[in-house]
Amino acid sequence: MDTVVAAFLEGAAAEIGEHYPLLQISDIYSVVAYYLRHQTEVAKMTAFAYQRVKAN
């Protein structure tokens, strides 16, 4: 999810399928749609995950 959201924020959501061929374009856009509806929650989740990685 982080990778797809990051690509979307950089303006390259459609191109992510080229880099990750196992992802279906419909799944990529589903992630983007979820992100757009839940930006605050996704930001919190991403920050939490980043802090856990950083702590280890």
Residue 49: predicted pLDDT: 66
More confident residue, 53 or 44: 44
Confidence (pLDDT) at 30: 94
pLDDT number for residue 22: 92
Residue pair 50/20 in contact by the 8 Å Cβ criterion:
no
d(CA 22, CA 40): 28
Q: Is the pLDDT of residue 56 over 70?
A: no
> pLDDT tens digits, residue range 6-52?
888 888 877 888 888 899 989 998 999 999 999 999 888 877 666 76
Helices (H) and strands (E) in the chain, counts: 4, 0
Q: How far apart are CA 4 and CA 17, in angstroms?
A: 9
pTM: 0.74
